[in-house]
Chains A and B, each alone.
Chain A
Amino acid sequence: MSGGHEHEHDVEYTAPLGETELRVKALESLLTEKGLVDPRALDELIDLYEARVGPRNGARVVARAWVDPAYRKRLLENASAAIAELGFTGRQGEDMVVLENTPRVHNMVVCTLCSCYPWPVLGLPPVWYKSPPYRSRAVLDPRGVLREFGVAVGDEVEVRVWDSTAEVRYLVLPERPPDTEGRSEEELAALVTRDSMIGVGRPKAPERRPR
């Protein structure tokens, strides 16, 4: 804590839980006591999405597409099958479509009705993705939203916003960063950010290699 000596007492107390947290805790206790939920299964679910399912999966898909033209072709033609080749399947990724960014087209993804998101490749959605401002402004003013995310898109580029309110989940295949020739698939995957696969960011620039 950086508040100085006079605030040291803050450390002594835990703030009371908010209404939502209390409600969740009450529901969890009830469901567990009635035998409707096995708390170990709940822990396993949480561990799955904290440790094993997340945007590093999507980054591996993108990096593979960057180095392997045949894989890229399969990915764009039948994304669910091509992603399953790398072992990423399951809930909220049953029916996938991959959208390729090019110098002429920039794709970004939103779910205006709720928070639909491709879990097997990106994990659970970030809070901002579920927030009403992102959900309404992504369709109404995509270029403004992109600017706020630090993504400059020229007037000559077509912005396509994909509203995934039905059953298909979308993953953006960002453009491969320049000056990455000869990089390994693993090095390339490290450049792929979550936001670049939602279409509100770009991959990281590679670090210069020592000569």
Chain B
Amino acid sequence: MRVLAVADVGRMILKGGSARVHEPLAARFAPGDRVIAKNVNPVGHTRLPRYVRGRRGVVARDHGVFVFPDTHAAGLGRKPQHVYSVRFAARDLWGPDASPRDAIYVDLWDDYLDPEGDR
């Protein structure tokens, strides 16, 4: 077991540890694509917020490839995949009381998404 030494603190913090994976995986979605967040309810760790499950959104940008926390946290491998910023209209999430202009952007892994029209 490695113990963090006082001399290594600064370097460890400033270097950081990105979950980005430099693998040229093909992206399944591109900005502008309409998607649906899957309605799934896993028992283990997930970064798919409940409030977008089953909701429609539009891919706003592709952040690149990252380790998939759902499998990584369970010791089931890194399963690298694209993470997209998906724009959800506030009214599509919260109904007519929400502002017609506002939007919520959620970063979602490829496995959380289906193309719209798939169900």
Tell me how far the C-beta of B91 lies from the nearest C-beta in chain A, rounded to whole angstroms.
12
Question: Count of B residues near A, CB < 8 Å?
Answer: 36
Chain A residues near B93: list those with CB within 8 A.
139
Instruction: Please tell me if B107 contacts chain A, counting CB pairs below 8 Å.
Output: yes
Interfacial chain B residues near A43, Cβ < 8 Å: 6
A92–B16 contact, CB under 8 A?
yes
Cβ of B9: which chain A residues have Cβ within 8 Å of it?
Answer: 41, 44-45, 48
Contact B105 A41 (CB under 8 A): no
**For the complex, is A162 an interface residue (Cβ under 8 Å from B)?**
yes
A168 within 8 A of B: yes
Q: Is A166 an interface residue (CB 8 A)?
A: yes
Instruction: Determine if B101 and A168 form an interchain contact, defined as CB atoms under 8 angstroms apart.
Output: no
Assess the B104–A139 pair: CB atoms within 8 A.
yes
Number of interface residues of A (CB under 8 A): 39
B15 A160 Cβ-Cβ under 8 A: no
Q: Which residues of B contact A (CB under 8 A)?
A: 1, 3-6, 8-10, 13-20, 47, 49, 51, 63, 66, 83, 85, 90, 93-94, 99, 101-109
Name 29 A/B residue pairs within 8 A (Cβ), A-sorted: A37-B4, A41-B3, A41-B9, A43-B6, A45-B9, A45-B13, A48-B9, A53-B13, A89-B15, A89-B16, A91-B16, A92-B16, A95-B18, A95-B20, A113-B47, A139-B104, A142-B102, A158-B101, A158-B103, A159-B101, A160-B102, A162-B104, A165-B47, A166-B47, A167-B63, A167-B83, A168-B63, A168-B83, A168-B85
